[in-house]
């Protein structure tokens, strides 16, 4: 298979996307993954600043770009995402799920 079209694993579902976001965000913010729940608000609950969110976007683009060629998160859209759950739904939509 050509590298541009390979898929390293099965397509991600909601739980899979949440797991990816949870892992990266917990690492970036140096918090326990259990704190990263769908209803958690990035700023108010997780104390994520704009730099942390940019790091999250970069990590997601890198990891998910390996699964879906051209996966990206628009900067304008990032400002609209307030909760982990909104981020999960956004990523699923971008993945075509």
The one catalytic residue in 13, 49, 74, 75 is 49
User: What is each CA distance from 31 to 11, 34, 47, 59, 69, in whole angstroms?
Assistant: 27, 8, 10, 16, 30
Question: Is 49 assigned a catalytic role?
Answer: yes
Q: 96: left (phi > 0), else alpha (psi -120 to 50), else beta?
A: left
Residues with active-site annotation = 49
């Amino acid at each position: 298979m050509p590298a541009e079209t390979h898929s390293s694993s099965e397509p991600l579902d909601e739980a899979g996307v949440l797991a990816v976001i949870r892992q990266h965000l917990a690492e970036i913010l140096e918090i326990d993954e259990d704190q990263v729940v769908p209803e958690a608000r990035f700023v108010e609950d997780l104390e994520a600043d704009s730099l942390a969110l940019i790091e999250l976007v970069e990590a997601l683009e890198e990891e998910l770009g390996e699964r879906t060629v051209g996966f990206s998160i628009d900067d304008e859209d990032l400002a609209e995402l307030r909760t982990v759950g909104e981020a999960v739904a956004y990523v699923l939509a971008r993945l075509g799920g």
